[in-house]
């Protein structure tokens, strides 16, 4: 083990301050011992500092291009969700390297308590990554929820045992391709998935539910033949997720996806044996719409229009919300993503 630096930075009442330690060829015991030392060194005469940790956050490896995005998200973490953060990275050397940082916000003023949380970056070779759960187990804070963050939805979880350690996985299917929904459906079958795209669809689920609250509208549901979804041009994922949710809630069996002349359609089989379809049409909604601009339910005799109504999620910190351990964030997600994946699987 070779400690490279051990330098407290920004002493005094600077806000925020960070203590960092970097070493190569370490074990979990080394990391724990150094964390203990950093925690003890943080306090002192005239300084009251408390460790504030709401969860264990394990950041799974992602390609170089998304590391900056990960850094930005983690830098803001202390203000809303201070965590024991464990970042996994892959490198080509046959050893484990560690970088420890303790971020403290030490407010000026007598008697005020500062809050600290720590971040541990662990770099290792692919072979060790496949057994990452064994390295992380002694580094997790007991009795706190453990969250796995998959910064790129298409990335694989390197060690399946990590899924046993975590209470849920955080992803953003909106950041990937609609094909990723297949992988997320498989993931949702074994662990709760907090998909930021699902959070962006909150308004649309509420609006669809409200549209079918009047009794006469509910009666119409069994006669729906077509659901038209106008989606934001950048990606079909959100519209597919919403279509999957609608299909799952009304008991439609997903058929296949068809593409022709720039249009996308998905066939579904109704419970009465009839056929219905989703038509997807690209549109511009100018951001903040959750990826969907309008939903229209059509039967032979009538239609129910669910328009976009005001801003939806543009001002919410969905990353922070999704980190909260409430299961309500993912309510309805698993059947929705499964139905969406089934549409993709049946693609002609």
Output 225 or 309, the one with its CB closest to another protein: 309
Output 144 or 320, the one with its CB closest to another protein: 320
Least distance from C-beta 189 to another protein, angstroms? 18
Least distance from C-beta 240 to another protein, angstroms? 16
Least distance from C-beta 338 to another protein, angstroms? 14
* Strands 168-171 and 192-195, sheet pairing: parallel
> How would DSSP label each residue in 138-202?
GGSPTTS-EEEE-SSTTSPPS-THHHHH-SEEEE-GGGS-TTHHHHHHHHHTTSEEEEHHHHHTH
Output 204 or 231, the one with its CB closest to another protein: 204
Q: Does residue 230 come out as left (phi exceeding 0), alpha (psi in the -120 to 50 range) or beta? A: beta
Distance CA 183, CA 247 (A): 19
* Strands 114-124 and 224-232, sheet pairing: unpaired
Output 100 or 115, the one with its CB closest to another protein: 115
Instruction: Return the SS3 of 99.
Output: strand
CB contact at 8 A, 229 and 295: yes
Which residues contact another protein by CB under 8 A?
A: 52, 54, 80-81, 115, 202-203, 205-210, 212-215, 218-219, 221-222, 245-246, 249-251, 286, 288, 306-307, 309-317, 320-321, 324, 328, 331-332
CB contact at 8 A, 54 and 326: no
Distance CA 51, CA 69 (A): 25
Output 259 or 331, the one with its CB closest to another protein: 331
Least distance from C-beta 146 to another protein, angstroms? 18
């Amino acid at each position: 083990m070779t400690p490279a630096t051990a330098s407290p930075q920004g002493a005094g009442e600077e806000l925020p301050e960070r203590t960092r330690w970097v070493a190569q060829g370490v074990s979990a015991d080394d990391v724990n011992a150094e964390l203990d030392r950093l925690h003890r060194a943080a306090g002192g005469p005239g300084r009251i500092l408390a460790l504030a940790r709401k969860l264990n956050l394990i950041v799974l490896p992602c390609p170089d291009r998304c590391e900056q995005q990960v850094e930005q998200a983690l830098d803001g973490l202390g203000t809303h969700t201070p965590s024991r953060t464990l970042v996994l990275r892959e490198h080509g050397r046959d050893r484990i390297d560690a970088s420890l940082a303790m971020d403290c916000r030490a407010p000026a003023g007598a008697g005020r308590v500062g809050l600290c949380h720590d971040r541990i970056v662990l770099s290792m070779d692919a072979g060790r990554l496949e057994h990452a759960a064994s390295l992380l187990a002694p580094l997790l804070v007991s009795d706190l929820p453990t969250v796995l963050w998959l910064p790129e939805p298409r990335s694989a979880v390197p060690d399946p045992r990590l899924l046993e350690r975590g209470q849920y996985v955080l992803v953003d299917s909106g950041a990937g391709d609609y094909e990723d929904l297949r992988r997320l459906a498989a993931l949702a079958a074994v662990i709760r998935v907090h998909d930021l795209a699902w959070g962006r669809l909150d308004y649309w689920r509420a609006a669809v539910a409200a549209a079918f609250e009047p009794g006469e509208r509910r009666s119409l549901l069994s006669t729906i033949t077509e659901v038209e979804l106008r989606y934001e041009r950048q990606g079909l994922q959100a519209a597919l997720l919403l279509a999957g949710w609608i299909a799952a809630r009304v008991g439609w069996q997903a058929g296949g996806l068809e593409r022709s002349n720039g249009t996308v359609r998905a066939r579904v089989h109704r419970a009465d044996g009839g056929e219905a379809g989703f038509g997807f049409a690209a549109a511009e909604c100018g951001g903040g719409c959750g990826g969907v601009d309008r939903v229209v339910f059509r039967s032979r005799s009538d239609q129910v229009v669910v328009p976009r109504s005001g801003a939806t999620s543009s001002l919410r910190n969905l990353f922070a919300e999704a980190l909260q351990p409430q299961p309500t964030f993912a309510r309805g997600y698993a059947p929705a993503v499964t139905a969406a994946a089934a549409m993709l699987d049946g693609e002609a």
